[in-house]
Amino acid sequence: MSRFGTALLCAAMALLAGCSGANAPESAAGVRAMYRSIGLDAGAGDFTDVCRSLMDEPLRAQVRRANDNCTTGSSTSALERWAEKVRLAKVSARTRIVLSGREALIYDGAKPERALYVNGQWLMAQAPELTAPPHTAAR
């Protein structure tokens, strides 16, 4: 291989290596992609897929108990309200996302949400707004 060919090959490899970090699923971009998927499912009314595909098992179990097994279509459902907020661009480019290994904290509300990187994808693990007990009217 000529020197030019070798240099071209090295430059291409460096470019690929430099770009892969920005698009790696374990990056903040991967966390934002998870939120986009939640928003798309919410827009389609597919709350079952939000639970099944985008939440870890402990959160999924909590949401199933509180939201009619994730099949709810009621506007009073915490799942539907939360997913609708996500659909309406809850996480923007300015949203603070702190990564620590395979865990991400997303600061976009009163309390941070937590996501875990499991088997090659980000899953919502904690969403305080989603699992908070319903407010009762003051007496």
Rounded mean pLDDT of 69-98? Answer: 78
Residue-number span of the structural domain to which 102 is assigned:
26-130
Q: What pTM, to 2 d.p., does this model score?
A: 0.73
Domain annotation covers residue 118: yes
Asked if residue 109 is part of any domain, the answer here is yes
Closest among 102, 93, 110, 107 to 56, alpha carbons compared:
102
Q: How many domains does the chain have?
A: 1
Give tens-digit pLDDT for 3-39.
655 544 444 444 433 333 333 478 999 999 999 999 9
Q: What backbone torsions phi and psi does residue 108 show, to the nearest 5 degrees?
A: -145, 40
Over residues 86-124, the pLDDT tens digits come to 888 667 788 899 999 999 999 987 889 999 999 899 999
Structural domain includes residue 6: no
Position 123 in a domain: yes
Instruction: Establish if 47 belongs to a structural domain.
Output: yes
Rounded CA-CA distance 88/80 in Å is: 12
Q: Is the pLDDT of residue 2 over 90?
A: no
